Structure 1
Amino acid sequence: MRHLGISLSAVGGIALLVGGGLWAAAGKPTATAAPRPSAGTTTAAVTRTELVETDQEQGTLGFDGARTLQSSASGVLTAEPAEGTTVTRDQKLYGVGLHPVRLFYGTVPLSRTLAVGVSGGKDVKQLESNLRTLGYDPYHDMTIDDHFSAATQAAVMRWQKAHGKTRTGQVTLADLVFLPSAVRIGTQHAKPGDRIAAGAQLIDITGTTRIATVHLPPDSDLAHAGDKVTVELPDGSSTPGVIAQVSTTATSSSGSSGAQSSGDNNGNSSSNSGNDATIAVTVRLTKPKATGGLDQAPVTVDFTRRRAKNVLAVPVTALVTLSTGGYAVDVANGGTVQRVAVKTGMFATNGAGTGQVEISGPGITEGRRVVIPQ
């Protein structure tokens, strides 16, 4: 699952690490004469930059707040929004017996009929807030609080009249559903014409915020809430993201948490602490429009492991392998070159072997040019 990589944060863009050690110690630094470069040889400047070591992990693109919506009424399902559509405040979530159930925003589910005389509660306050926002309390007669007042009843009746409903002044479970925000419609578990019971599964819904989900080993120290990451999309493009949440509960591949038990060939059981267990990391995309219409698509998330700031770097293709071990670079000096043994630090290369590498050695200063072997 895991692929260790290193990326370069500089004017040149972002690159990834290939395998191999991060440090290769050269022998005693020396400068030896090298042949005159042949015609057409290219050179590159030693630059001062920042290299970033990353770890690449596979993830899945989706939306936040995934859940399955259950029916709050029984009867024949008469309406349901199409998959992929978005339902916002006061729009229809579904219909039972030609009676539409609408979406209001709130974190406390509607669990009772709301009317004059009902005990106070946050559900009342949520109702009043929605009615005010929707314009059904034009003179602000309501006080937005836990009390269902006569002014609340009047606002409910205005809402009912606007939707062609009988003006009862009360709200039942068959009238609306409280959800935290607008929702995106996913898989439908029932179709119009189906006879359903209260509590039946209707549709999968999510929020509208774009996220990528990655599963890491429980002992991983890669992810911390607030860290910036890069998300690589299926088309090869990249977009920034921020870690919104790191789960504190490890879940095995079978979907359960905690240790698992297994047996050997002799029938003896042993405890498996969950080598296949993972924790979920939620990444919120900074530029969600970059993902287009993708959903449940595979992505690669680059987590920052460490940085090397203010280091001297050259193209990795400038390295020359020494027969005695270690590396050197050919430093251009007028019409000749000097081969200088160097110590390598962080690599920032891609799979094609191009990119940058941190180097140090005698005469290696910013602006010097090194030969790129042909």
Structure 2
Amino acid sequence: MKRLGISLTAVGGLAVIAAGVLWTTASKPSATASPTPSAGTTTATVTRADLVETDEEQGTLGFDGARTLQSSASGVLTAEPAEGTTVTRDQTLYGVGLHPVRLFYGAVPLSRTLALGVSDGRDVKQLESNLRTLGYDPYHGMTIDDHFSVATQAAVERWQKAHKQTRTGRVTLADLVFLPGSLRIGTQHAKPGDRIGAGARLLDITGTARIATVDLPADSDLAHAGDKVTVELPDGSGTPGVITEVSTTAAGNSSGSESNGNSGSGNDATVAVTVRLTEPKAGGGLDRAPVTVGFTRRRAKNVLAVPVAALVTLSTGGYAVDVTSGGAVQRVAIKTGMFATNGAGTGRVEISGPGISEGLRVVVPQ
């Protein structure tokens, strides 16, 4: 008989099974005659726990919303934030001819001049929302809606005055850019002093939310939007995450053809999985760094569990645990359920069987 991965020598003679209990003597002893735990062992308590079995996959740490920012104005580039800089609402994204182009938050791009008389639209509502948030509608005379009103014009003029710009009450494509939120600056495609035209590539930008991306086999059922995962960072620490997107388009060889002309199954096709880290500061400033993502394969809730090391392998097959009480030890045959790996309860195993209950103490090799 062996403990799982650890040799065990029977005490007092040949071990036999009787009524589901494996004793360490050839005949059934009294409780007082039972041996005590041997040196080099300790004990652990049978507890109720939630166990998780996970599948670890390699991924890449980065930031969300990667895209390339194009210029909305023509002229000489005069200002640009440094790579790695974070730009927030109303800060300068770039400057053309000494005129700053600022960041406002919004999902709808600015594609027209906003002024009195312009048709109603969501871009107007975004403008008003930003001006209110920035404090340029101090008396709340402006209604946050799709209509550009006199109160909207007044708020625009206050904003222009605060930035020492000509008070026109109008907002043009050379004044601001609507993007979903704060940004992180990546590669610069143009430098101050360069002459640029509208549509010129300026900067690679991302959002500031930390994400990990993983490529899984296209036929995998591990990932579903909303599932919780764990992400192991390059320093070995772990942080929680949530799957936000599973691509519906497979990449790679999905045709099933192989270079030798034989037909294959196309198992090398993959889908991209995006995980948002729930701790905003996790990962620090790391970008494009390797990470390990743990996907839950299955879960067992509120089950009886012991350390895996407590298991004893029976010569007849199956497992047992050594239950200790009052200095006596009984070897009890058990059934194993889920082995927790790389998740909640790691290193523990679900057990059940006659006489197995919460609170029992079992022998564990040190």
Match of 1:313 among 297, 305, 311: 305
What amino acid maps onto 1:340 in structure 2? V
Residue matched to 2:235? 235
Q: Distance in 1 between the 2:148 and 2:202 partners?
A: 30
In the TM superposition, 1:179-328 aligns within 5 A as: 179-252=179-252, 259-260=254-255, 262=257, 264-265=259-260, 274-328=266-320
Give the number of aligned pairs.
340
Residue matched to 2:24? 33
Q: Distance in 2 between the 1:27 and 1:59 partners?
A: 51
* Pair 366,140 (structure 1): closer, same or farther in 2 beyond 3 Å: closer
Q: Distance in 2 between the 1:178 and 1:275 partners?
A: 41
Q: Distance in 1 between the 2:234 and 2:365 partners?
A: 34
Given that 2:21 and 2:330 are in contact with CA atoms closer than 8 Å, whether structure 1 keeps it comes out as no
Given that 2:59 and 2:292 are in contact with CA atoms closer than 8 Å, whether structure 1 keeps it comes out as yes
Q: Verify: 1:108 aligned to 2:108, yes or no.
A: yes
Q: Verify: 1:51 aligned to 2:51, yes or no.
A: yes
Shift of 1:315: 1.8
* Pair 263,334 (structure 1): closer, same or farther in 2 beyond 3 Å: closer
Q: Distance in 1 between the 2:171 and 2:50 partners?
A: 60
Residue matched to 1:348? 340
Shift of 1:363: 3.2
Match of 1:332 among 302, 324, 335: 324
* Pair 349,336 (structure 1): closer, same or farther in 2 beyond 3 Å: farther
* Pair 39,277 (structure 1): closer, same or farther in 2 beyond 3 Å: closer
Q: Verify: 1:77 aligned to 2:77, yes or no.
A: yes
Residue matched to 1:5? none
Shift of 1:310: 3.0
- Residues 340-371 of structure 1: CA deviation (Å, up to 9, x unaligned): 33322211257xxx822222334333333322
Residue matched to 2:357? 365
What amino acid maps onto 1:85 in structure 2? T
- Residues 67-107 of structure 1: CA deviation (Å, up to 9, x unaligned): 11111112221111112221111110001121111111221
SS of the residue corresponding to residue 154 of structure 1 reads helix
SS of the residue corresponding to residue 313 of structure 1 reads strand
Given that 1:27 and 1:326 are in contact with CA atoms closer than 8 Å, whether structure 2 keeps it comes out as no
Determine which structure has more spread, i.e. the larger CA radius of gyration: 2
Q: Distance in 1 between the 2:45 and 2:149 partners?
A: 76
- Residues 186-217 of structure 1: CA deviation (Å, up to 9, x unaligned): 22222212222211111111122222222222
- Residues 240-293 of structure 1: CA deviation (Å, up to 9, x unaligned): 22222333333338xxxxx4474654xx696x7753332232222222223333
Percent of paired sites with the same residue: 81
Shift of 1:153: 3.0
Q: Distance in 2 between the 1:118 and 1:243 partners?
A: 41
SS of the residue corresponding to residue 43 of structure 1 reads strand
Q: What root-mean-square deviation, in Å, do the aligned CA atoms of Structure 1 and Structure 2 show?
A: 3.0
Given that 2:210 and 2:282 are in contact with CA atoms closer than 8 Å, whether structure 1 keeps it comes out as no
Given that 2:49 and 2:305 are in contact with CA atoms closer than 8 Å, whether structure 1 keeps it comes out as yes
Q: Distance in 2 between the 1:124 and 1:349 partners?
A: 53
- Residues 19-64 of structure 1: CA deviation (Å, up to 9, x unaligned): xxxxxxx998442325834345322222232222222222222222
What amino acid maps onto 2:116 in structure 1? V
Residue matched to 2:13? none
Residue matched to 2:119? 119
What amino acid maps onto 1:315 in structure 2? P
Residue matched to 2:149? 149
Q: Distance in 2 between the 1:273 and 1:206 partners?
A: 36
Residue matched to 1:129? 129
* Pair 356,269 (structure 1): closer, same or farther in 2 beyond 3 Å: closer
Residue matched to 2:86? 86
Residue matched to 2:14? none
What amino acid maps onto 1:52 in structure 2? V
Given that 1:211 and 1:282 are in contact with CA atoms closer than 8 Å, whether structure 2 keeps it comes out as yes
Unaligned runs of 5+ in 2: 6-16, 26-33
* Pair 193,27 (structure 1): closer, same or farther in 2 beyond 3 Å: farther
Q: Distance in 2 between the 1:307 and 1:294 partners?
A: 31
SS of the residue corresponding to residue 62 of structure 2 reads strand
SS of the residue corresponding to residue 125 of structure 2 reads helix
SS of the residue corresponding to residue 131 of structure 2 reads helix
In the TM superposition, 1:155-194 aligns within 5 A as: 155-194=155-194
Given that 1:27 and 1:341 are in contact with CA atoms closer than 8 Å, whether structure 2 keeps it comes out as no
TM-score scaled by structure 1?
0.80
Shift of 1:139: 3.7
TM-score scaled by structure 2?
0.81
Shift of 1:334: 4.3
Q: Distance in 2 between the 1:232 and 1:371 partners?
A: 32
* Pair 43,125 (structure 1): closer, same or farther in 2 beyond 3 Å: closer
Q: Distance in 2 between the 1:184 and 1:32 partners?
A: 66
* Pair 277,115 (structure 1): closer, same or farther in 2 beyond 3 Å: same
Worse-matched range after superposition: 26-35 or 164-173 = 26-35
Q: Distance in 2 between the 1:263 and 1:291 partners?
A: 39
Given that 1:27 and 1:325 are in contact with CA atoms closer than 8 Å, whether structure 2 keeps it comes out as no
